[in-house]
Amino acid sequence: MPSRVQWGPASVGLTLAIFLAAFLVVPVLKVIFVAFQDPHTGSFTLVNFQDFFRTSLFRESFWNSLYVAGMSVMLASIIAVPLAYFTTRFNFGGSILIQTLGVIPLIMPPFVGAVAMQLLFGSNGSVNLLLDEHFGFTVPFMDGLNGVILVESIHYFPFILTNLAASLANIDRSLEESAQNLGASGLRLFRRVVFPLAMPGYIAGASLVFLKVFDDLGTPLLLNVNKMLAPQAYLRISSIGITDPMGYVIAVMLVLFSMFSLWASFLAFRGRDYSSVQKGGGGLLKRDLRPWEKTGAYLVILLILAFVLAPHIGLLLLSFGTVWSYAVLPDGFTLDHYLRVFETSSQYVTNTLLYAGLAATIDVILGTAIAYIVWRTGLRGRTWLDYIATAALAVPGVVLGIGYLRIFLGWEVPFSGQPLAAWWVILVIALSVRRLPYALRACVAALQQVSVTLEEAAENLGATKLRTVWRIVVPLMSGGILAGFVTSFATASVELSATLMLVGQQSDAPLSYGIYVFMQSAAGRGPGAALGIIAVVIEGLGTYLSHRVIERGRRMRTADRIVAETVLGVE
Amino acid sequence: MAMTKAQGVSVTLRNIGLAFGTNVVLRDIDLDIEPGEFFAFLGPSGSGKSTLLRLIAGFGPAPSGELSIGGQNVTHLAPWKRRVGMVFQNYALWPHMTVRRNVAFGLEERKLPTAEIRKRVQAALEVVGLSEYADRRPAQLSGGQQQRVALARTIVVEPRVLLLDEPLSNLDASLRVRMRREIRELQQRLGITTIFVTHDQEEANTIADRMAVLNDGILQQVGSPMDLYDRPKNRFVAQFLGTANLIAGTLVETSGGSLFRSSDAIEIPLAGGSAGKATSHAMFRPQDLRILGREETITQGELLLTGSIRDREFLGNLIRYSVALGERDILVDDGHQMGSPAYAVGASIEMALDPAQVRILDA
């Protein structure tokens, strides 16, 4: 570490710190501060929290949120554990199918598919109509909280699948063989060796699922389930106003639980680098399946595949369907919804491209700068930039939205006189702050692949630090930077929770907001679904592109798990 | 061949010290490297030799003391202002650039005209014999070729000093010998002051005009390779450069001159009066001993030693015997030819030692 004073990096570091402070730390602290503030006198108080727990609606919302998040983890585990087990223990062609299963849900935000799921699995949906007609009973798949649980777990189970499969794949077969050699076998072997070794991966995945479900605003809103924490926070702020303390109390709850689950997932991995694959070894012992086992496995996979594809199929039907009500399928098919979207609502698409593009650009610039400062300079406190940027993962969009509304209340955009919090630029900044952790991880991974001597060689030949960054570091990081950009872009383009809070006027709104607005009315469902399909295409393309970029990078000897995790860290 | 002979500059280190946090890696290094000299830093891993080289290039923590290149104090100068060329151990070729662009990099940073850059890159590639490979990427080259690109990239900017950090360690044995000669030849042709880091004494011996032996961040001794081998100052240098027999003992003055006496009373008369400390070590190399055949006797002034063979290693051109002598084992080399006798383990032998070959070490 050079100990000479580094004015260049120091000023960049300071700029980054100011950005993170202004748009992440201060808004969140403000929200927490207000939650503990007496709304009339301004003094410190716990009365808001007492009020919260005294109100039966909030108590119910609190338990509902916990219940939904917990049950979603359960259901997601039931889906993911057998799939992870199949891929890592057996030789069979279904593995490719399972890998596909791990990606499909991620290319559609849960709230987009929610309405389509209602039409398929609701009490008057296709499945129940068929069941009622042929077997005379119905299943309450989508009734109340069940709907949220089903939609969320179908969407988020890949977190558990990929983390658990990675953990299992990292267990060297010599560990299993030495246990067998010492007399353990069958279930005992699984319980005493395989299970403990795979545990960190499972915990990490499960806590991510918990966090995402607990914070989600769009899905419950679209399913009209309002008695949960995130929707309550949104409804309080949007109906009663920015001064109502209950919104802040709920925000504090959301942050607390998010921090807790993020902490749990870090804890699961800390001091447990169980990655034990040796040279020439690799993975657990795989065996071939017997015919009846293979049939069973395929049945399970196909059943899951049907559920996983349901939102996509439903959305597609909805976007092309004329009228779809009390029927297994829509009455007829049409292109009208797409035409209507392109005629009247194309600003949603252009806004989304603009906002997500800007947010992703900001993210990769910040991500590259933070990665460089943390890993290549000796600046004091540099790791805090990394910690704080990563902590954005634990800040739900609702909370960030409330924070911005509160902080920028009364500020105006220079020259236009428009309220600052409703300015679309603020939404772009909110999106970039929310997606920064993904871009940052991709940039850090990319920078770690660049050997320091490559930079020293440039300096030795007369290039200054800045020239070295420009000519050597950035070009060599370009794969990772591109992957980070695409991930940020794809996920920012379907962000809903901060968007809902911060969109000032319809003409400034992005896709996700448009989908939400359309889906509110029965007549808007068709166009809403068409917009949803557009969003899925954008995100699908993004995921595919970043996958390609990463695969290319991996072939170029840059295999890195963190990047893979980044791609999966999609909302 | 457009590469011109450069005017070599001196490199002077005064009282150089360096620490990574609280971990001191270099202490009180004083060293004068002459203009145009081929100088080697030799030492085991962790001795600080690479750190010292990097310090000269301006990498790593700021040192204490003073470093001058060509009379200019550069101790706190940024790496990119020093005009010293460094070839890295792993070559550090930029994988996203072709060979030509790698070599052109330093000239581009110096904002030279494009035509000039093209001409000098071409010349540098010719010097290292890689003109046909200009449009390849580093990954498409062999280790030796990459090494040459790294050299071309460094010399093309005509640095004042050339620094080579274990440049041969990633090459296989035969290529290493060839590259060693090529580097030496190039250095002679360019007349550039060159510092070479290695842990391999054969490499240092064959290539360097002078060398410095480092251990634990301390400069142990400086001199020509032969000088250091023949007259090591301390036990570390004696043992690091070849094989050494060391005998602990004391110096005593007698009427007949100085005498070295070991703890078990082996006495070695010393030719010149040695001004060493009272307790010290006597050192001689395995080839300084001559095993006496049945009919042979010692000549005037030689010392007769008797011991029994504990072990032997056949090394091809010689047999190295481990011989129990008093309380210790010493190593004795006996040149080998077809038909020459080999002594069995357990056999008792007589050996002759010329006291003139015995060095008394300072430490």
Query: What DSSP string runs through A92-149?
Result: -THHHHHHHHTTGGGGS-HHHHHHHHHHHHSTTSHHHHHHHHHHS----TTSTHHHHH
Give the per-residue pLDDT at A285.
Answer: 62
User: Which of A4, A460, A466 to mutate: most B Cβ within 10 Å?
Assistant: A460
> Please, is B191 exposed, middle or buried when counting C-beta atoms within 10 Å of its C-beta (0-12, 13-18, 19+)?
middle
Average pLDDT over residues B61-75: 93
| b/e B205-231 (16+ beta carbons within 10 angstroms → b) | bebbebbbbbbebebbbbbebeebbee
Task: Give the C-alpha separation, B28 to B115, whole Å.
Answer: 46
Let me know: does A370 contact A432? Beta carbons within 8 Å. Answer: no
- Name the minimum distance, in Å, from the CA of B160 to any CA of chain A: 12
Angle in degrees, 0-180, between the axes of helices A424-448 and A474-492, rounded to the nearest 10? 140
Share of chain B above pLDDT 70, in %: 96
Q: What is the DSSP letter of A377?
A: -
* A11: contact with B, CB 8 A cutoff: no
Tell me which of A461, A470, A474, A476 to substitute to probe the interface with B (most B C-beta atoms closer than 10 Å).
A461
- pLDDT tens digits, A295-327: 888 888 888 888 888 888 888 888 888 777 767
Which residues are CB-neighbours of A64 under 8 A, at least 6 positions away? Answer: A145, A225, A227, A228, A229
Which of A177-186, A241-250, B290-299, B328-337 shows the lowest mean pLDDT across its residues?
A177-186
How far from A184 is each of A118, A173, A276, A517, B196, CA to CA, in Å? 48, 14, 19, 58, 57
Give exposure, B276-307, as e/b (b: 16+ Cβ within 10 Å): beeebbbbbbbbbbbbbeeeeebeeebbebeb
Q: What are phi and psi of A276, to 5 degrees?
A: -125, 15
Distance from CA of B63 to the nearest CA of A (A): 10
Pick the residue with more confidence: A2 or A4? A4
> Which residues of chain B neighbour A462 with C-beta distances below 8 Å?
80-81, 83, 106, 109-110, 157
- Nearest CB partner across the interface for A1, out of B61, B88, B95: B61
- Greater pLDDT, A121 or A186: A121
Give the pLDDT mean for A63-70: 93
Q: Which span out of A233-237, A358-362, A404-408, A542-546 was modeled with the highest average pLDDT?
A: A358-362
Q: Is A473 on the interface with B (CB under 8 A)?
A: no
Rounded to a whole number, what is the distance in Å from the CA of A462 to chain B's nearest CA? 4
* Alpha carbon of residue B58 to chain centroid: 22
- What are B278-324's pLDDT values in tens digits? 678 889 999 999 998 888 888 888 888 899 999 999 999 999 999 99
Q: How confident is the model at residue B273 (pLDDT cuts 50, 70, 90)?
A: low
Bridge partners for B334 per DSSP: B319
**Arch. (CATH architecture) of B243-361:** Beta Barrel (2.40)
DSSP string, A491-552: HHTT--HHHHHH--SGGG--HHHHHHHHHTSGGGHHHHHHHHHHHHHHHHHHHHHHHHHHHH
Considering only CB atoms, A3 lies closest to which of B62, B85, B95, namely B62
- Exposed (0-12), middle (13-18) or buried (19+): which is A265, by Cβ within 10 Å? buried
- Lowest-confidence pick of A38-52, A356-370, B189-203: A38-52
Residue for token pair 């050699």: A181
pLDDT score at B64 = 93
Which of A228-232, A277-281, B315-319 has the least mean pLDDT? A277-281
Provide the token pair at A371.
Answer: 């990665």
CB A111 within 8 A of CB A218: yes
Looking at the domain that runs over B11-235, which CATH code has it been given? 3.40.50.300
Under a CB-based contact definition with an 8 Å cutoff, are residues A261 and A255 in contact?
no
Q: Does A416 touch chain B (CB under 8 A)?
A: no
Average pLDDT, chain B: 89
Q: Judge whether A169 and A276 are in contact, CB under 8 Å.
A: no
Q: Maximum Cα–Cα distance for chain A, whole Å?
A: 81
Render pLDDT for A450-477 as a digit per residue (tens, 0 to 9): 889 999 999 999 999 889 999 999 999 8
Residue of A nearest to B162 (CA): A460
Kindly determine whether residue B157 and residue A462, on different chains, have CB atoms separated by under 8 Å. Answer: yes
Rounded CA Rg of chain B: 25
Give contacts of B154 with chain A, Cβ < 8 Å: 460-461
pLDDT at A273 over 80: no
Q: Is the pLDDT of residue A558 over 60?
A: no
Six token digits for residue B95: 């994988």
At B153, is the pLDDT very low, low, confident or very high (cuts 50, 70, 90)? very high
Residues 6+ apart with CB under 8 A from A324: A119, A317, A318, A330, A331, A525
Q: How far apart are CA A436 and CA A360, in angstroms?
A: 8
Strand runs labelled E in A313-413 = none
In this predicted structure, the answer to whether residue A86 has a pLDDT above a threshold of 50 is yes
Chain A interface disruption, residue of B25, B75, B80, most A CBs within 10 A: B80
Distance, in angstroms, between B79 CA and closest chain A CA?
A: 6
Q: Is the pLDDT of residue A561 over 50?
A: no
Q: What is the pLDDT of residues B87-138, one digit of tens each?
A: 998 889 998 899 999 999 999 999 999 999 999 999 999 988 899 999 998 8
Distance between CA A347 and CA A534 in Å, rounded? 13
Distance between CA atoms of A317 and A324, rounded to whole angstroms?
A: 9
Flag whether the pTM goes above 0.95.
Answer: no
Q: Per the CB < 8 Å rule, is B95 touching A475?
A: no
Q: Verify whether the Cβ–Cβ distance B105 to A461 is below 8 Å.
A: yes
Q: Tell me the fold of A11-35+57-568.
A: MetI-like fold (1.10.3720)
User: Are A462 and B90 inside 8 Å of each other by CB?
Assistant: no
Which residue in chain A has the smallest CA separation from B80? A462
Q: Could you give the CA distance from residue A104 to residue A123 in angstroms, rounded to a whole number? A: 26
CATH 2.40.50.140 region(s) of chain B?
243-361
Give the torsion sign (CA, A343, A345, A351, A352). Answer: negative
On whether ipTM exceeds 0.85, the answer is no
Q: Where in chain B is the domain with CATH 3.40.50.300?
A: 11-235
Closest residue of chain B to A455, computed from CA coordinates: B92
Q: How many CB contacts within 8 angstroms connect chain A with chain B?
A: 73
Question: B76 CA to chain A: closest CA distance, Å?
Answer: 8
Structural element, H or E, at residue B167: none
Closest CA to A66 of A254, A248, A199: A254
Tell me: pLDDT of A440 over 50: yes
Residues in B lying within 8 Å of A, measured between beta carbons? 57-62, 76, 78-81, 83-86, 88-90, 92-96, 105-106, 109-110, 153-154, 157
Are B233 and B220 spatial neighbours (Cβ–Cβ below 8 Å)? yes
Q: Across the interface, do A462 and B106 touch by the CB < 8 Å criterion?
A: yes
Higher pLDDT, A197 or A32: A32
A38 close to B (CB below 8 A): no
Burial of A527 (0-12, 13-18, 19+ CB in 10 A): buried
The percentage of chain A sitting over the pLDDT mark of 70, rounded to a whole number, equals 91
Average pLDDT over residues B326-333: 89
Rounded to a whole number of angstroms, the distance between the first and last alpha carbons of chain B is 50
Q: What confidence tier does B193 reach under pLDDT thresholds 50, 70, 90?
A: very high
Alpha-helical runs (H) found in A418-521: 424-448, 452-460, 465-468, 474-492, 497-502, 511-519
